Amino acid sequence: MINDDNDDYEDGDEEDLDEEDLIIQAAATATIAAGLSAIEHAQTFYDKMPYHDSALSGVAWVLELLGGHPKRIRKELGVHRHVFYALINTLKAAGYQRSKYVMLEEQLAIFLYTCMTGISLVHVCERFQRAPDTASK
């Protein structure tokens, strides 16, 4: 009988060890998963990729419109080239000028393009390769 009691005790220890092993494995798995999640989240801050990376910047597109076919600027901005230049001169006469990073011509083009197309700010920003804060001013 003494041996039977010891066998029961050893079986209980084995079951306890198996349960402890499972708990340890679950904790280790959760820790690894949390660590991998933290690393993946942190990579978005370290591995930055430019968003506005089109070959044609906003100002380049405006200059292309101004120097291109006369019907193209009318189609894209809703005004003829001479009207665009008249608006620029009127804005300058009223005291408007380029901002720190955006030429007055591009500012006017952003306004006219938004009025002409009626598209969202996100799409305007993509066309002009500008951040929403810049394009909405």
Per-residue pLDDT 10s for the chain (137 aa) are 445 555 555 555 666 668 888 888 988 898 998 888 888 877 767 666 666 566 778 889 999 999 999 999 999 999 999 999 999 999 999 999 998 888 999 999 999 999 999 888 888 888 888 887 777 77
Q: Which residues of 15-28 are buried (b: 16+ CB within 10 A; e: fewer)?
A: eeeeeeeeeeeeee
> Under a CB-based contact definition with an 8 Å cutoff, are residues 124 and 114 in contact?
yes
pLDDT for residue 8: 52
Write down the pLDDT at residue 1: 46
**Which sequence spans correspond to the domains of the chain?**
1-48, 58-135
Question: What's the pLDDT score for residue 49?
Answer: 65
98 touches 104 (CB < 8 A): yes
- Tell me which residue of 102, 106, 72 sits closest to 88, measured CA to CA: 106
Alpha-carbon distance 136 to 10, whole Å? Answer: 74
- Backbone angle region of 129, left / alpha / beta, with phi > 0 → left and psi within -120 to 50 → alpha: left
User: What's the pLDDT at 55?
Assistant: 75
HEC sequence for 90-111: HHHHCCCCCCCCCCHHHHHHHH
What's the pLDDT at 21?
A: 84
- If phi > 0 it is left, if psi is from -120 to 50 it is alpha, else beta; for residue 95 that is left
